Structure 1
């Protein structure tokens, strides 16, 4: 397809990105040698696989420590090695790693043990280089798949289903690698995705011989079950939400019906576009100031705050036509809710138990002074606490729940 050839040309990165990454890699290895530490730095992620996208300025570097260091704190050892770089940030996790920026590239330096097989892992990150090797081995057999993976990644980023962080619940780069290699390309993946049912199993090595759903731990099941070819006891797509599973299928269907470059272009929605979309409706914009912290933790707090507000709007009788949120991964986030433009009635009907349930009816009548019977159920009219969404949100802003999740909330009504 000519369209895909054009997109691939636009997605391929410049060679100088790899050169800049190699300079940092060489500097780390030089420092390791000086300090006489038994370790070696290697490129990781999409840079190592040769599948990274143009303008995707993130580079993972794994520093693989000899197994003789398995009882030592290799994060502390790595910190001493990378002191040669300015403004290095230590990120706390199950095993601390490091982040810094150089030549407009974001570097993530991760300490791992130099294991040869997954069973030797001490920390989940120890297996990451093995995942890279698996992808590279498969791309060596079919080099054209590198560009196919680029297409899949760009497609998923554009339809907002990319990213396995807990607040995104999308497809990880690793899962997209497996799927693209399994189906041998972008178009075959999309065509097969249309046939996926919930809890579809992708078992590259046929490890479970069709019995994955019976043998896997139920807590590891999700809408899509992708057996990790390196760690078969693991569902690589465990974090994928049902919503993003169906969003991917829907996007695949739309592309196959009418292919277009727009399916590969990530577009950030603007306030002006939201105003246009909400004509003859009510638009509620919430400008959120976030706390500082680890991206995954801050993002999870924002997602919980967004869901909490949306849930309370519905519970209080407001009709939501569309909602969404975006975050700059720094200090600001925007929530939006497009609602029916109305002031709710002063009272709403609360439906009680069937009139044949004497005890429950008695309890209902004790709680509510004025009642009536409708469709063989006891009912009452209850005065609303909130008739406008902005009044509800003003109250929610004061709750302990939202104060713990957000630093400040500004509200704008259109």
Structure 2
């Protein structure tokens, strides 16, 4: 593979791997390549559809604006698409002298002329999406600019990414990109959507180029010490606070890996080590856990001795990139609220389908009727006097009394069970996502202990992943 050096030929303890080990790794990679490399018939079908639609888009675009042009972008244009993928991205570029409103109008006109049965979707601005001969087609308008640093919306960068990589990806590197994508899919970290928060296609291509292939990338990743900083074009920018920083070669003010969560960087490191030590096709095969049964769920809960609690509500009608940040915000708010009230969150997660769930395990599910409330030291005269006078004549309060040099009271606890708190209006004070808050205001259920079995029909696989965690 391209980019290999002496270090790439050594295993974790520094010894050279045996020929058998190399043969086994090579055999696995060869088997994966056979699966993910499109054959000539598949390539020809894509070329035919893409060519026909590109001409159709060019005709309409230049009719509206003589200075417009059309190009293909994305993995199919960079020869890094994997067999079975059916995505074709057609970018319609308009001169920067056009205003945004005109660009959007022209873009939709070109999109509908190219895809007469397509429908409109919206990212930073509207575009047309449709299906032609089994291929998923996006017709996206953007501005034709001199530099990616001049972009007016995120899609303006994409043609620059395509041009940069087309110049650097030969057939072998492109093949290694396809293998790498399949590896990342297999371990569950491929995709820059805000549900996955993993490795985008562009980031994957840059990493393969930077390290010189699939195996050199894994050799490097297993030794990463985050934060990892890569700067393919030596722009010299360092002002990023992320576990993985890959400076965009076309835009030095952007970290291509900004969305990549620390857990997914760590997951890549873990499985890079696992594969290099014990190569196996299983690392390239996404695993969808079988749904957990009611008996298995009861066994897990009994074995753990925790109290499972779920807040279940109708999932807000949002695209995933809007929904999952709100679910994570709500998860953080609810778990902080439980912790602050003494219920000791052990572990927690969130999941969504038709309904959405904040799922929490509690180490403590019930608290005493009273709680301790500490005051200031007696020698802090003003604050101490205010505290003492506030509680001295208060009914149902023990104290104030002294614990060392501080005033202390013991007062009635507002919530003695997690259910009391979660079913109260105080749940709306913890910092929920705005659409999640609206959903809870409409209706929600609190499920505790064996009641969580009602989640199995919709979330059996997610509950297995939760109760049987792997890296």
- Same fold by TM-score, threshold 0.5 exceeded? yes
Bigger-Rg structure (1/2): 2
Q: Partners of 2:154 and 2:141 in 1: how far apart? A: 11
* Contact 2:313–2:356 (Cα < 8 Å) also in 1: yes
Could you tell me which residue of structure 2 aligns to residue 126 of structure 1?
A: 156
Corresponding residue SS for 1:227: strand
Question: Is contact 2:314–2:355 with CA below 8 Å preserved after alignment?
Answer: yes
Distance 1:412 1:72, change over 3 A: closer
Aligned with 2:145 (options 109, 115, 118): 115
Alignment map for 1:10-49 (pairs within 5 Å): 10-12=35-37, 16=42, 19=45, 22-23=48-49, 26-34=52-60, 36-37=63-64, 38=66, 39-49=68-78
TM-score, L = length of structure 1: 0.80
Q: Which moved more, 1:126-135 or 1:30-39?
A: 30-39
After superposition, the C-alpha distances for 1:7-49 in whole angstroms (9 at most, x for unaligned) are: 3434445654872575266235325415624434433222222
Q: Residue deviations 1:199-229, cap 9 Å, x none?
A: 3210112232xxx32xx4xxx4322221111
Which ranges in structure 2 are unaligned for 5 or more consecutive residues?
1-24, 392-396, 451-471
| Structure 1 SS opposite 2:242 | coil
Name 2:249's counterpart in structure 1: 229
Q: Secondary structure at the match of 1:232?
A: strand
Q: Number of paired residues? A: 402
Return 195-204 or 363-372, whichever deviates more: 363-372
Q: How far, CA to CA, are the matches of 2:258 and 2:269 in structure 1?
A: 17
> Bigger shift: 357-366 or 224-233?
357-366
TM-score by length of 2: 0.72
Q: Which is worse superposed, 65-74 or 184-193?
A: 65-74
1:51–1:345: structure 2 CA closer, same or farther, 3 Å change rule? farther
Trace 1:5-404 onto structure 2 (pairs within 5 A). 5-12=30-37, 16=42, 19=45, 22-23=48-49, 26-34=52-60, 36-37=63-64, 38=66, 39-67=68-96, 69=98, 73-84=102-113, 85=115, 88-103=118-133, 105-140=135-170, 143-166=171-194, 168-208=196-236, 212-213=237-238, 216=239, 220-269=240-289, 272=292, 275=297, 277-280=300-303, 281-328=306-353, 331-340=354-363, 342-353=365-376, 357-368=380-391, 369=397, 370-374=399-403, 377-395=406-424, 399=428, 402=432, 404=434
Change in CA separation of 1:231 and 1:402 when aligned onto 2, cut-off 3 Å: closer
CA distance in structure 1 between the aligned counterparts of 2:291 and 2:413, rounded to whole angstroms: 31
Rounded to whole Å, the distance in 2 between the matches of 1:300 and 1:347 is 36
| C-alpha distance in 2 between matches for 1:34 and 1:290 | 40
After alignment, is 396-405 or 7-16 more displaced? 396-405
CA contact (8 A) 2:60 2:110 kept: no
SS of 1:170 mapped into structure 2: coil
- Are 2:28 and 1:3 equivalent residues in the alignment? yes
Query: Would the aligned equivalents of 1:25 and 1:61 in 2 still touch at CA under 8 Å?
Result: no
SS of the residue corresponding to residue 253 of structure 2 reads: coil
What secondary structure sits across from 1:299 in the alignment? helix
Report the Cα distance in structure 1 between the residues aligned to 2:337 and 2:385, rounded to whole angstroms.
29
8 A Cα contact 1:302 1:405, kept in partner: no
| C-alpha spacing 1:228/1:363, structure 2 compared with 1 (3 Å) | same
Change in CA separation of 1:362 and 1:270 when aligned onto 2, cut-off 3 Å: farther
SS at match of 2:316: coil
- C-alpha displacement at 1:88, in angstroms? 3.6
Gaps of 5+ in 1: none
> How far did residue 77 of structure 1 move?
0.8
Deviation at 1:253, TM superposition (A): 4.1
Query: Partner of 1:239: helix, strand, or coil?
Result: coil
Shift of 1:277: 4.4
CA offset at residue 183 of structure 1?
1.2
